[in-house]
Structure 1
Amino acid sequence: MNKRNKLLIIIFIITTVVLIGCTSNSQVKEDVNSNSMTLTDMLGRTVSIDGNAKKVVAIGPGALRLYCYIDSADKVVGIEQLEKDHPTGRPYALANESLKELDVIGPGGPNNSPDAEKILSVKPDVIFSMYAYDKSAVDELQSKTGIPVVALSYGEVSTFDPAVYESLEMIGKIMGREDRATEVIDFMKNCKEDLNVRTKDIVEDKKSSTYIGALSYKGSHGIESTYGNYSLFQAINANNVVDEVEKTGSIMIDKEKLIEWNPDKIFIDYGGLNLVKDDYNKNPDFYDTLTAFKTGELYSQLPYNFYHTNIGTAMADAYYLGKVLYPDSFSDIEPEKKADEIYKFLLGKEVYKKMAEDFGEFNKITID
């Protein structure tokens, strides 16, 4: 082999080694930054996050709840004053009592702006937000803190809403808990499917007509507070007398309309039960006109609207509503045990007993 060929071989070997080295160094850099991500949040904002978050805060109605479904409360480094002061009725707070010991990062509530300075003091890696529904307000908080702010959403109906699934998936990605997020989403979807399968083939003339009253909406209300296209009734294909008004969402009906509908069974949300009792004492003739009151077909529902929708409680309620309306289709369901099964899966702790102590059990209601 002549000198020229030897030289060419040496140059080829050196070039190959250099190229391999460069490729290797580039791959290492990519691996180091493989957890960095850019995502689109529920307000359509592009947010960049440098690796899986280790410390978080969650602000605004319902943000902390969705986070707790996915990851450990140990990673939460501060909470709102409202979360600290009012744990009643919020299973995620009952299941994670250590949260109330954290530093306060702002007042909380739907109408209070977050405190950027206090949030900065606890040094979170990411802020999960439900405090505002316009991009500019969320962008302003991110600008003030220099911390990625990820907007979440409960969508239109909260329970079994695709927006919730998207929000949970996003939290899972940011926290490196994609598998857990998938499990939670599948659990919710399976509950929805189970409720539908149990009830979808029940013929209309075999269904009791029904009504839900005293639903909370920006506060407690009496029997006239109800819901059109009520998501829990929709989930069990119930015959909701309110649906004839062809409206979706919170409705305050004229009480005389309830006499006209005269549903077979009436559910009363515990959140407004005392208001119903007070009104009954003032106007018993009205209530005694209703068949459900005369026949004792009055049933409870655990309140699930407190700082947005407590989805686990709403799902538990749906099984109880189904048990009352279609006992044969839910003969294998014990509502109390089902509630704890749901709470345990979502939050790691059975809290139905505490909810029942605070509000009341799944049961018939007596009003006198």
Structure 2
Amino acid sequence: MNHGILVTLGVLTIFLILTAGCTSEQKAPPPESIPGPSIIDLEDLAASSSGIVLTDSIGREVTVPRNITHIICSGPGCMRYLAYLKATSMAVAADPVERDARSPLPLAYLLAHPEIRNLPSIINEKGSENPSVISGMDPHPDLIFLMGENHQISPDDLQKRTGIPVLVLQEGDLSYRRSTMNYALRVMGVVLSKSARAEEVIQFFDKVTDNLQTRAWTVPDFQQKTGYIGGYSSPEPQGLYSTTSVYIPLTLVDVKNTAERYAAENNLIGSLTITKEALSRMAPDAFFIDMTTWSRKDNAVNDLEKSDVLQGMPAIRQGEVYGLLPTALYGEEHEADIINAYLIGKALYPDKFIDVDPKVMADYMYAFFYNEPLFEELNRKLGGMALSRIPLFT
């Protein structure tokens, strides 16, 4: 069989997977994706001879120059968005965690773009963007993106001290903050002349999340499964009792997060640490482990194996323990959220995901975003157990 036929068959297989479940027999359409502002709205913003006037995520009006060639993209998720838009070559700096060659984070965009590690840092010893360093850079940046609001220097001060426009954006996610994610991608697309790619990325996310939700939507409420995410790393590797009450992959396939109730009872939200006793009372249908835990001596798998209390839980006795890709090492990794969701769906709703191989889907995602399959290389950095059932007591 020649190469052209193999490529065609591969594309056809993924197409069939992503259209599975979309039949006329459904009672109602799947949930719609939440759209952000249209690209037309953005391109119709006030323009001056020197550039485009944009309102950023915190309400600041910023005049952005035209024909941008060099940028700084600072904050969790910012460089990954550049990678989505195929614009990393425009970056003239990288954040310290992205440059760390001694303990490199297992992030797909860094595997695809190792040259990012060679970029200089503009962060000083106090963890703040350094105006003096930025002002003296060659090539000189035309624009600074700050992702999120947790920066020690204010955007107005940074803009005043460097003379460079500063745009603040929010990363968003594939569920509750979908419009925020879309807006960030579209704004970056407009100012970097990557609007077509930004729309392509947004439509791709729409397609795969609709596919996930279509499959999960057909599961009756009384058959809804529960799951627990352990070893949740945000950003450091953690043990079994580190979890989160907001885990996008579970949400995407309508699996109830057992940490939600614990968080509500204790007035917590997001990342949290629970007790062994609390976990034993949750009784999830399956355990899902963030495999960055593998780098710890006392990792989440060891925690499961050495606890007599947990060993008696039905999910443990039945071997319902699976490894996942990290999703929050440095910002929310949207492609990892989707890949993990396919694994979770396959584990808990096997009849709805019978045609899906999560590892194949992973490389399909990586090929779209980064032009190459990356799963095997990434999995080697995660103990070889990502997107797999984890054998216990071996």
TM-score, structure 2 normalization: 0.78
Distance (Å, rounded) in 2 between the aligned partners of 1:174 and 1:73 = 14
Q: Deviation at 1:88?
A: 2.9
Deviations 1:279-323 (A, max 9, x none): 346x43122122111111111111121121222112211111111
Q: Deviation at 1:173?
A: 0.5
Q: Which structure 1 residue ranges, 4+ long, deviate > 6 Å from structure 2? A: 32-35, 156-160
Structure 2: which 5+ runs fail to align? Answer: 1-46
Q: Report what 2:335 is aligned to.
A: 312
Distance (Å, rounded) in 2 between the aligned partners of 1:338 and 1:34 = 46
CA change 1:209–1:101 in 2 (3 A) is closer
Q: Deviation at 1:229?
A: 4.1
Distance (Å, rounded) in 1 between the aligned partners of 2:114 and 2:237 = 26
Query: CA RMSD for the aligned pairs?
Result: 2.5
Most deviating of 248-257 and 191-200: 248-257
Q: Report what 2:41 is aligned to.
A: none
Secondary structure class of the residue paired with 2:92: strand
Q: 2:86 aligns with which of 67, 71, 81?
A: 71
1:140 aligns with 2:157: yes
Q: Report what 1:38 is aligned to.
A: 53
CA change 1:118–1:341 in 2 (3 A) is same
Q: 1:276 aligns with which of 285, 289, 300?
A: 300
One-letter amino acid of the counterpart of residue 250, structure 2? F
Distance (Å, rounded) in 2 between the aligned partners of 1:157 and 1:238 = 15
- Bigger helix fraction: 1
Q: 2:371 aligns with which of 348, 355, 359?
A: 348
Please identify the structure whose Cα radius of gyration is greater.
1
Q: Report what 1:100 is aligned to.
A: 117
Matches within 5 A, 1:250-269: 250-269=271-290
Matches within 5 A, 1:148-163: 148-155=165-172, 161-163=178-180
Q: Report what 1:362 is aligned to.
A: 387
Q: Report what 1:23 is aligned to.
A: none
Q: Deviation at 1:238?
A: 0.9
Q: Report what 1:17 is aligned to.
A: none
Percent of paired sites with the same residue: 29
CA change 1:36–1:256 in 2 (3 A) is same
Deviations 1:235-271 (A, max 9, x none): 1011332333446422322221222222221111112
CA change 1:213–1:352 in 2 (3 A) is same
Q: 2:195 aligns with which of 159, 174, 178?
A: 178
Q: Report what 2:134 is aligned to.
A: 119
One-letter amino acid of the counterpart of residue 365, structure 1? I
One-letter amino acid of the counterpart of residue 347, structure 1? Y
CA change 1:35–1:333 in 2 (3 A) is farther
Deviations 1:301-359 (A, max 9, x none): 11121121222112211111111111111122111111111112122222111111110
Q: Deviation at 1:179?
A: 0.9
One-letter amino acid of the counterpart of residue 392, structure 2? I
Q: Deviation at 1:193?
A: 1.3
Residues paired across the two proteins, number: 334
Q: Report what 1:83 is aligned to.
A: 98
CA contact (8 A) 1:142 1:148 kept: yes
Most deviating of 36-45 and 68-77: 68-77
Q: Deviation at 1:34?
A: 6.9
CA change 1:212–1:136 in 2 (3 A) is closer
CA contact (8 A) 2:240 2:304 kept: no
Q: Deviation at 1:159?
A: 8.2
Most deviating of 130-139 and 297-306: 130-139
Q: 2:63 aligns with which of 48, 53, 58?
A: 48
CA contact (8 A) 1:159 1:309 kept: no
Q: Deviation at 1:136?
A: 6.9
Structure 1: which 5+ runs fail to align? Answer: 1-31
